[in-house]
Chains A and B, each alone.
Chain A
Amino acid sequence: MKILNAVLGATALAALSLFSASANAQGYPERQITMVVPFSAGGPTDTVTRLVAESMSKDLGQQIIVENVGGAGGTLGAARVANAEPDGYTLLLHHIGMATSATLYRKLPYDTLNAFEYVGLVTEVPMTLLARKDMEATDLKGLIDYAKANQDKVTVANAGIGAASHLCGMLFMSAIETSLVTVPYKGTGPAMTDLLGGQVDIMCDQTTNTTKQIQAGTVKAYAVTSPERLDVLKDLPTVKEAGLPQMEVGIWHGIYAPKGTPKEAIDKLSKALQVALKDPNVAARFVELGTKPSPEADATPEALKAKLEGEIARWKPVIEAAGQYAD
C-alpha cells in the first residue's frame, strides 16, 4: 500500500512536471541536491542525515549529497545554508541546536526565525538521566534529594557547551531548582569514561550514547525523557512517571532550506521526507540508534516551524538562568 502510494505520488509528480516544464522550479529537482550537516562526519546527526538523504534521493530521482560543515556548535553550517541560493538545491539538517543557538550565541550571522524555510521534522531522540554506578539513590526522587543535600559537591558532566548533555543538565538543574557543579568535557566519550570511572556523579545524554552502558550496568539510570518508555529499556521509568515532567525533552532533528526557496520545491521535499520516514530500512537503523522516525504529521513545514518557535521560547529562560553563553 505504501509502495503503491509512493508510486502514485511519483507518477503524479512526474505528470505534473511534464505539464509545467517551462515554469521555474516546477521541474525540480533537475540536478543533485546538497544537504549540509553542521557537524562532523560519523556522529549521530551525520548518520541520521545520511540515512534520510539516501532514502529521499530515491523518491526525488536525484542524488542528495551530504556535506559536513562542522564547527561553532552547528552555527557555521546553518550560516552557510542561510546564505545559500534559495533554489532548493542546498538544504540543512540540524537538530535542537538550531533553537538553542539562538540564545547561546548572542551574535549569529543569521536570524534563526527568518532565514529559513521549513521542510519537516525527521526524528526525536530521547535522553536518559544517569549517575555513576555506586550512587546511593535508587530512584529519581532519591537522586534529587541527594543532589539538593550535597549541591556544592554533586558534579554534572556534559559534552561541551550547546551539546545535548549540556542542555539536559541545565534542564535538570532548572527543574529541581538547584545549582550543581558543571563539569564540561570535549565530547561524549571522555565524559562517559569519567562517569564510568566514578569521577563525576551525574550525566544526562542521548540514548544513542547511553543505551549500551545502561544495559551493561556500568552506570545507574534514573529516567528517560520521552513521553513513553523505550522498548530497549523497558524497566526505565519516564520522567513523568518519576515525578519530573518538566524534564520531558528530545533531541529533535529537522530539515531546512534557505528563505525564499520556491514552495513547489519545499512541498516536494516534504513529500520525499514523509516517504523516507516510512522506509523500513530507515526505521530499522533509527531503532539501532535508539530512536524512531517522526510521524507523518510532524514531517511537515508547519510542524517544524511550530517546534522551532516553541523550543526557542522554552530554552531561552533555561539558558539565561544558567548564564552561560557560547560566544
Chain B
Amino acid sequence: MITVLVANPKGGCGKTTVATNLAAAFANGGLRTALADADRQRDGLHWLKLRPGAVPRILGLDWAKGDRKSPKNVDRLVVDCPAGLRPWRFREFVAHADVVIVPVLPSPFDERTTERFVKRILRNKAVRKRRVAVGLVRNRIRARSRAADRLETATARMNAPDIGEIRDRALYVDLAANGLGVFDLPTPRIETIQADWHPLLRHVETAGWEAAGRRGRTG
C-alpha cells in the first residue's frame, strides 16, 4: 500500500480537491482505494456520499476523531489532512505516510505559510531518511498570469520537488458537487485536463513506492 498525505496548514488551498481527484484516479486505474478524511468538516466523506454507483468505489475512513487505523486490503490510501494542523499533530500523520503532497496557491500569503510548513517537514526524521517523499503541487493556476510565474519562483526556493501545476477549471466545482473526480469521466475531450494530474500520479507511483520500500513495507 502507498499512503499519500495531502497537507498544508493553510486553509482553502485545494487539499480536498487534490485528495478526491487523486483517489478517483487510483480507483479508476483498478486499484483498491481508500480516502481518509481527517478534517472535522468531513468534506471528503461528504463527497464520497455523493458518489454515483456507476463509478469505481472508494472506501471512506473517518480520521477526524484521532482513531486512525490503516485499512486492510487497500492499495492506495489518500489522507486529506485538516487545515491549521499543529506540528506535533502533523508528525502523527507523517508516521503513516509514504508521500506528502503539498498543494499551494498563487498568492503571497499561501507562499509564505507553505514555505514555513515545508521547511518544518523537511526536518522530520522520516523525511530526511527519505522514507517519506515530499512534493509540491501548484494549484488553481491561470495560464500566463504574473501570480503563476511568481509562484513558480517561490516553489523553486523551497527545497522540495515541484511536481507540476493543476490549472484552474470550473469543471472541478461541478464534479465535486456530484461526488466525482476528473478521472471518473470517460470523455476524451477532457484528456488535457486529466494530463495535469499525470506528473503528480507518476510521482506517487515512483517516489511513493520507493519510500514504501525503504520503510520496509512491501507492495
Does B bind A?
Answer: no
